[in-house]
Amino acid sequence: MQVIVFVFCLLVSLTINAQVEAIKGVQYKYVDTYNKYYFSKGGKVLSVKISNREVVLSKHSIESLELEKVIVTKDLPQGYNLENVIESNGRYFLFYSLWNRSDDIVRLCYREIDFENVLLMSEEKVLLEADRKIKKDYHLKAQYGSDITKRFNFEFSKNKEVVAIFYHLDRERINDKKSYDVIGVHVYNKNFESVWNYVYTMPYPEVKIKKYQYAVDSQGVSYVTAFVYHKDEISSRELEEDNLLYHIEVLKLKGKGSMENVVVDQGAIFVRSVDLYEVAGAVMVGVGMYDNKQNRRATDGFFTFSLSPKGSVSDVKHHEIPLDIINMNEDEKSQKKNLKKESKGSAVMKNLEFREMIVNEDGALLLISEEYYRVAHSTGGNSYYYTNHFDDILLTKISKEGKLEWMKRLPKKQMRGGYGKGNMSYKYIYWEGKHYLFYMDYSFNESDGDLLVFVISNREGNVNKYVLDKTEDGEDALKTYNVSSLIVLGQKKILMEGESWKKKKKENLWIKMNIPN
């Protein structure tokens, strides 16, 4: 175990130097996979890494950072589709789906993970079955350029006491006008004991419904949010016009076929997406991004509303992104263009994706969005390669009363080739009245990067930016951190998995460090 010291450099408003102690653990074998999951309990950290049919379980001591045990299992079934790896009520589960071609049944299966003994249990259990093929959800592919797809959507209530699993059955008819979407909903308690389940036929033809999103509250009520179009067919000319062609509906599902349709009045704006979150006592908040023009991948602001347990919609708000935020980090030419557009009410942020919503301890909402886009590069003929770009983060704080308190644009640029987000994007935590967003800065190349963090005060929105660790050369030098592995230890300490090179081979190691004020 080695103790090293990092120097913090404030890059936003003023310079602060602070020495922070970091502890590096012993290197261990690197597993090349996108599917990495991390859990901590009782002073130990367990990593679950899945590559093809192989599962690698590694347990480390948080105190010493030493590897205590590693077990490799190579018996996942042929043709499985990884769905999720989760913790629920102190138990750990690996979920995957299997499609039986002969009977056309899809089964959601799981195997339990024994944290203490670092063991993937051999017994396969079937949680649910669907009587025909399920559509795969390409949400991750759309968001991150990932090659990972899912058949089942797992949603948790705010208190983690309820789990709802949604799936979208494949169509029975080829004609969209005569085909109605069918969505299965299975609701469980935290021990995965069934509460209720039902297969719902949607109230409109498939051609009229777009962009499903799912949620569940602490009472076991499930929600399907959908964009419902007013016509079966929309012409290209209609898409260019600024007439509202759809409305937003929330379907409240309570089991036994119960379905309540709630229409959300979005006004004259063009909402691009809507996500539902439980805030307290089965009260749901809807959050979406909107544009002032139709059919563009641009954002003019944020759209929020409240949905009561009785199904009434209230507090519908529009929060426009101001011009000074839109122009931040843009070149002079772009700023002049945006100024002209703003005079016509059409200045927007491009390529903005909504990532998550945080409910603060004071009841306020923190909306986190990130610029993401994918670029195709021609290599001649019909050959292309792709790069995924993860740029600025936009933070928006909305008070408990629904008023905009502050909005901050945090500058960063990240680029990754191929599929998956890898170490791109960010990791969010909240600690003692401040928001922390950790990320890797790959300004020089894609493999070696610097670990940075934005620190934002919750009340005023003041932003500081620190460099936590700079890339080093040489044997055993840290090259990058896996920010998604970050675990909060308490007492302003965090734990993160890093990557280094040893004898021209990648190795992993855990690093424990303090976080800045």
Q: Output DSSP code: residue 338.
A: H
User: Measuring CA to CA, which residue among 41, 163, 52 is closest to residue 113?
Assistant: 41
What values do phi and psi take at 144, rounded to 5? Answer: -125, 5
Q: CA-to-CA distance for 112 and 120, rounded, in angstroms?
A: 6
User: Measuring CA to CA, which residue among 427, 411, 477, 419 is closest to residue 448?
Assistant: 477
pTM above 0.75, yes or no: yes
What values do phi and psi take at 147, rounded to 5? Answer: -95, 10
Minimum mean pLDDT range among 45-49, 133-137, 200-204 = 133-137
SS3 218: coil
Distant-in-sequence, close-in-space partners of 31: CB < 8 Å, separation ≥ 6: 49, 51, 56, 508
Helices (DSSP H) in 219-349: which residue ranges? 236-240, 323-327, 332-343
205-234 pLDDT, tens per residue? 888 888 889 999 999 999 999 999 887 776
479-488 pLDDT, tens per residue? 889 999 999 9
Q: CA-to-CA distance for 16 and 455, rounded, in angstroms?
A: 13
Per this entry, what is the length of the chain? 517
Q: CA-to-CA distance for 130 and 125, rounded, in angstroms?
A: 15
Minimum mean pLDDT range among 139-143, 342-346, 400-404 = 139-143
- The burial of 385, by beta-carbon neighbours within 10 Å (0-12 exposed, 13-18 middle, 19 or more buried), is given as exposed
**CB 168, CB 183: distance < 8 Å:** yes
Number of H helices, E strands in the chain: 4, 38
Q: CA-to-CA distance for 424 and 215, rounded, in angstroms?
A: 26
> The dihedral of CA 355, 161, 203, 176: what is its sign?
positive
pLDDT band at 12 (very low <50, low <70, confident <90, very high): very low
pLDDT at residue number 449: 75
pLDDT at residue number 17: 40
DSSP assignments along 47-112, one per residue: EEEEETTEEEEEEEETTT--EEEEEEE--PPTT-EEEEEEEETTEEEEEEEEEETTTTEEEEEEEE
Task: Kindly tell me if the per-residue pLDDT of 101 is higher than 50.
Answer: yes
- Pick 162 or 150 by higher pLDDT: 162
Q: CA-to-CA distance for 414 and 260, rounded, in angstroms?
A: 43
* pLDDT, mean over the chain: 86
> What does the longest C-alpha to C-alpha distance in the chain come to?
66
Q: CA-to-CA distance for 55 and 96, rounded, in angstroms?
A: 13
Going by their DSSP bridges, the two strands 463-469 and 404-410 should be labelled as unpaired
pLDDT band at 444 (very low <50, low <70, confident <90, very high): low
pLDDT at residue number 450: 85
**CB 284, CB 307: distance < 8 Å:** yes
pLDDT band at 16 (very low <50, low <70, confident <90, very high): very low
Q: CA-to-CA distance for 199 and 168, rounded, in angstroms?
A: 10
pLDDT band at 170 (very low <50, low <70, confident <90, very high): confident
pLDDT band at 109 (very low <50, low <70, confident <90, very high): very high
